[in-house]
Amino acid sequence: MLYKFKSKATADLVMLQPNAEELLKIIGKAAGPTGIITVAQANAAIAAIQAEIQRRETLHEAPPPVAADADADANDAAKEEAVSLRHRAAPFLDMLRQSSAEGKDIVWGV
């Protein structure tokens, strides 16, 4: 399933369900078929996403535990190749910033 975020300040933003729901959870919004992020909520949403990005990057910088077997090494390699939250959230953060600057709400639908 896809989520489509819309704002009168930007182009539409389409995201896969797991990524969209992760971001909505981070900003304290319930994932659902429709919703809104008001201009008044945008700055808090930006701050929440940036804080989560920082938290995850700080955890990633910590030395990994010593792997007990080859499967653990393979899992660690797969995690490192995954797309980071910083990159997945960038278009959404841009939309939040632009919409906030122009005084426009963001709505979404599935």
Q: Tell me: the pLDDT tens digits for 45-98? A: 999 999 999 999 998 876 656 555 555 555 554 555 588 999 999 999 999 999
Say what the pLDDT of residue 110 is. 65
Backbone conformation region of residue 56, classed left if phi is above 0, alpha if psi is from -120 to 50, else beta: alpha
User: Can you read off the two tokens belonging to residue 26?
Assistant: 């981070």
Of 24 and 63, more confident: 24
Say what the pLDDT of residue 63 is. 62
pLDDT band at 109 (very low <50, low <70, confident <90, very high): confident
Contact at 8 Å (CB) between 93 and 17? no
Q: What is the pTM of this model?
A: 0.80
Say what the pLDDT of residue 16 is. 95
pLDDT surpasses 70 at 11: yes
Of 110 and 93, more confident: 93
CA 82/CA 47 separation, integer angstroms: 23
Say what the pLDDT of residue 81 is. 52
